[in-house]
Amino acid sequence: MGRVAGKVVVVTGGARGQGAAEVEALAREGATVLATDVLDAEGHALAGRLAADGLQVSYLPLDVRDRQAWDALAAYLEEHHGRVDALVNNAGVAARDRIPDVDPQAWQRTFDINVTGPLHGIQALVPLMRAGASIVNVCSAPS
């Protein structure tokens, strides 16, 4: 078993790219991983491929902006796993407009996904975390 054997880990934005790589790496190190995203087809495909390899990966849809969805996820995790050992807040979007050209609605969407989403996740899942659990907030932007 690997470094995170037996841990229950939630990864947001886990359907593709960096998030999918995190999901796979954690699962190959022995974690039970719940990948979440708004990209359902890709999330289900990833979970199916990794589960076929014998890894403990599942997928649930989650819009990180939706606090009620986070609460439902917390209830699911409590019922099925009883705890959360780590939350990887990976979901994010890039806003590349120059300041004079920023659309306020696009700004709000970016803020809601990149800032408020992780807050919702932390608030919803911390009650399921024991001492020593981890929260990882990720930020990357493709070049």
Each residue's pLDDT tens digit, 95-143:
888 989 999 999 999 999 999 999 999 999 999 999 999 999 997 665 5
Q: What is the pTM of this model?
A: 0.95
- Residue 139, pLDDT score: 78
Element (H, E) at 20: helix 17-28
Residue 58 has pLDDT above 60, yes or no: yes
Mean pLDDT of the region 42-63: 98
Residue 90 has pLDDT above 60, yes or no: yes
CA 102 vs CA 96, 109, 129: distances in Å = 9, 12, 38
Query: Side by side, which strands form the sheet with 134-137?
Result: 57-61, 32-37, 8-11, 86-89, 134-137
Mean pLDDT of the region 16-44: 97
Mean pLDDT of the region 84-97: 94
Task: Yes or no: say if 138 and 88 are a contact pair by the CB < 8 Å rule.
Answer: yes
What pLDDT, in 10s, does the model give residues 3-17?
A: 999 999 999 999 999
Buried residues in 86-115 as b, exposed as e (16+ CB within 10 A): bbbbbbbeeeeeeeeeeeeeeeeebebbbe
Task: Yes or no: say if 12 and 36 are a contact pair by the CB < 8 Å rule.
Answer: yes
Mean pLDDT of the region 58-77: 98
Residue 1 has pLDDT above 80, yes or no: no
